[in-house]
Amino acid sequence: MELSWLETFIALAESKSMRSAASGLGISPATASERLIALEDEIGAQLLHRTPRGSELTEAGRLYIVQAKKLISDWNDIISIVKPMENRLFRHISLGFPCNTMFPGVGRFIDEFILRHREIELSMYNDSDIGIAEGLRSGIVDIFFAFEPLEMVRRDMAVKLVHRSRLGVLIPPDHRLALRTSASLSEFDGETFVLYPPVHDSSMNELQKRVLRESGIRYIEYGGYFSDVMYPLTVQIGCGVTLIPKIMLRNAHPHSVFLELTDDFCDCNIYMLYDPACANPAVKMFLDEFGDDIGRDET
């Protein structure tokens, strides 16, 4: 069970409006609905039902919300106990990356950073290991890199643009557009898209859904499941086409064809997310030495 499911349920119960609750949490109404459904599936009971006046608690919901609030309170108490421990001198830094992807330049920077600070130990995660919001809020991950949109980021997290990329469509070599180098999403109307597995609060899955919504095309979402490791094989074995940032081409199957998208809404930026109140001196050194350079995809 995710803490975000409980927070969403409480917000929905208190606001009685899906749109209002989602806005307050900084997520889309669709994401709020998915979290509520996941929570109800987990506990095996309906918690809310819709009325002309908005969402109302069911009998099970009135009982469960008491425990949900207690669980959130207990978690915050745990964090308040653990956080002061950060006042000691840390010699460890943990980084998170989306979709097993490390953007150009960061690998070299990390290598040089560790060589300059040999006393610092490094841990690395991806969004299949832990959710972005959960990882940052709990302190398990000090800095997380994520694609836009950043709906899962809490208001107290710092957000810094660090890389600009473009989205494209990965297609099999026998596709009707395979001889092209670029295309508009409108040319894929009616096709099957394989979306990145919605592990935790994956920014890649959110980005793909946002772009497909904005495109206005009709499309079929592939119904099977692939882990994040197997996901690059989906195009090659004929499951459909995928939306991926140009930066992820190194992860793609070598016999797939990448078409850069020409649509204005297909920019794809990568952000560095971190808690500005973090007392870990290793994090401060990393941020200071990383600088303000904004990378771009190689052409």
Segment 73-87 shows an average pLDDT of 64
Query: What's the pLDDT at 135?
Result: 87
Contact between residue 283 and residue 142 where contact means Cβ atoms under 8 Å apart: yes
CB 2 within 8 A of CB 133: no
Tens-digit pLDDT profile for residues 104-128:
778 888 999 999 998 899 999 988 8
Nearest to 249 by CA among 263, 261, 259: 259
* 239: Cβ contacts below 8 Å, ≥ 6 apart: 192, 194, 222, 224, 226
The pLDDT, as a whole number, for residue 182 is 96
pLDDT for 162-209, tens place per residue?
Answer: 888 889 999 999 999 999 999 999 999 999 999 998 777 678 888 899
Q: What is the pTM of this model?
A: 0.66
Query: For the ranges 41-45, 149-153, 252-256, which has the lowest average pLDDT?
Result: 149-153
The pLDDT-based confidence of 278 (bands split at 50, 70, 90) is: confident
Beta pairing partners, 257: 171
SS (H, E, C) 138-152: HCCCCEEEEECCCCC
Chain segment 243-261, per-residue pLDDT in tens: 998 888 877 777 889 999 9
Q: Which of 102, 249, 16 is nearest to 24 (CA)?
A: 16
CB 269 within 8 A of CB 138: no
Q: For residue 194, give Cα distances in angstroms to 6, 187, 236.
A: 29, 16, 12
Q: What are residue 166's phi and psi, to 5 degrees?
A: -125, 145
Amino acid at 263: D
Q: What is the pLDDT of residue 89?
A: 47
Query: Which is more confidently placed, 44 or 75?
Result: 44
Q: Is pLDDT above 60 for 154?
A: no
Share of the chain above pLDDT 70, in %: 90
**Band of residue 88 on the pLDDT scale cut at 50, 70, 90:** very low
Please count the CA atoms within 13 angstroms of the CA of 190 that sit on its side-chain side. Answer: 1
Average pLDDT over residues 218-235: 89
Please tell me the distance from the alpha carbon of residue 228 to that of residue 253, in angstroms, as a whole number.
Answer: 14
pLDDT at 24 over 50: yes
Q: To which H or E segment does residue 116 belong?
A: helix 106-116
Which token pair is 22? 């989602």
Q: Is the pLDDT of residue 273 over 60?
A: yes
C-alpha–C-alpha distance, residues 76 and 278, integer Å: 16
Please report the DSSP string for 35-91 in residue order: HHHHHHHHHTS--EEEETTEEEE-HHHHHHHHHHHHHHHHHHHHHHHHGGGGGS---
